[in-house]
Structure 1
Amino acid sequence: MRTHINAITLAVSDLDRSFRFYHEGLGLPSPGIIGTEYVGGDDTPGGSAAMFTLDNGLLLSLYGRTDLAKDADLPDGPVTGAAMSLGYFVDTREEVEEVLERARQAGGTVVRPPLERPWGIYAGYFADPDGHLWEAVFFLDGKRPS
């Protein structure tokens, strides 16, 4: 098995709202919502999704929660983001605060204001409109893990 992740797909309850949060609010580049011509049915998923290629090549994808459940052949359930968090590494302490404020202004929630942790980071958490948890992190020694 190769030791890298190529894409992370977040299940969202409202694709348009989530696209605006990530694209307009956080400034992630995207060609927009694609695949709208593939309309789902009772048992088949639709194809509408939004994709963001991040600087490190990782693809962040947004997909309707009902369509994701159908595609994976799982029961449809509520969107929840508390079972994991995504890390967003920045270059300064100030950027941690800027990311959290930008997320708040875009419709997200600051879950925990930034603070310095004894293990060498300055970090805070925000949640997107569906509750997906993100941690904005600055490494106090300036060295990101490789």
Structure 2
Amino acid sequence: MQQQISVITLGVQDLERSRRFYVDGFGWTPVFDNGEIVFYQMNGLVLGTWIRPELEGDMQRPAGPGPSAFSLAHNVAGPEAADALIARLAAAGGQVLRPGQAPPHGGYRGYVADPDGHAWEIAWNPAWAIDDQGHVTFGL
């Protein structure tokens, strides 16, 4: 089976607040927005933000507490770019969970939660190449 992810959809409480975080914070442009769900075309997949009760109903999953312990990651070109993006995301309504710093295993990272608590790792890994389309290649 092909290893791929086509769409990641995040349940959100307030679509406008979420849109501000992703549009003003990351600088992303929606490719679809119907007032209930917003899709962003990424490099090889689509990210969706959907009103949480609607998503839970579509999944036939009872409403739960909040996002589990997981993070999405956005890799950048260096530590300075990570700090700048963390600041921009915070200004767009995000909550800094962990400021940027160099972990013991190398590289650089910080964490920001979107307005609905979904954690984003903003990271730089010197061994991981990022091409002009934003595709990351795993490297050690």
TM-score normalised over the length of structure 2: 0.86
Unaligned 5+ segments in structure 1 are 37-47
Deviation string 1:57-76 (CA, Å, 9 cap, x unpaired) is 22110001100111001112
- Structure 1 segment 4-43 matched on structure 2, within 5 A: 4-31=4-31, 33-34=33-34, 36=35
User: In structure 2, how many angstroms separate the alpha carbons of the residues matched to 1:133 and 1:30?
Assistant: 20
2:40 alignment partner, SS class: strand
Partner of 1:59: 46
Matched to 1:59, the amino acid is V
Q: C-alpha displacement at 1:134, in angstroms? A: 0.4
Partner of 1:140: 126
Aligned identity (percent) is: 38
Q: C-alpha displacement at 1:97, in angstroms? A: 0.2
Partner of 2:37: 49
User: In structure 2, how many angstroms separate the alpha carbons of the residues matched to 1:72 and 1:81?
Assistant: 15
| Higher Rg of the two aligned structures | 1
User: In structure 1, how many angstroms separate the alpha carbons of the residues matched to 2:63 and 2:103?
Assistant: 37
Are the aligned partners of 1:10 and 1:62 in contact in 2 as well (CA < 8 Å)? yes
Partner of 1:44: none
Q: C-alpha displacement at 1:82, in angstroms? A: 4.6
1:5 alignment partner, SS class: coil
Partner of 1:120: 106
Matched to 1:132, the amino acid is H
Say if 1:33 and 1:74 are closer, same or farther in 2 by CA, change over 3 A.
Answer: same
Partner of 1:39: none
User: In structure 2, how many angstroms separate the alpha carbons of the residues matched to 1:66 and 1:142?
Assistant: 37
1:95 alignment partner, SS class: helix
Structure 1 residue corresponding to 2:58, chosen from 71, 90, 93: 71
Are the aligned partners of 1:91 and 1:142 in contact in 2 as well (CA < 8 Å)? no
Are the aligned partners of 1:82 and 1:131 in contact in 2 as well (CA < 8 Å)? no
Matched to 2:117, the amino acid is G
Unaligned 5+ segments in structure 2 are 130-136
User: In structure 2, how many angstroms separate the alpha carbons of the residues matched to 1:9 and 1:63?
Assistant: 7
Deviation string 1:72-121 (CA, Å, 9 cap, x unpaired) is 0111234x235100011001110110110011100111110111112222
Matched to 2:37, the amino acid is A
User: In structure 2, how many angstroms separate the alpha carbons of the residues matched to 1:58 and 1:68?
Assistant: 19
Matched to 1:73, the amino acid is Q
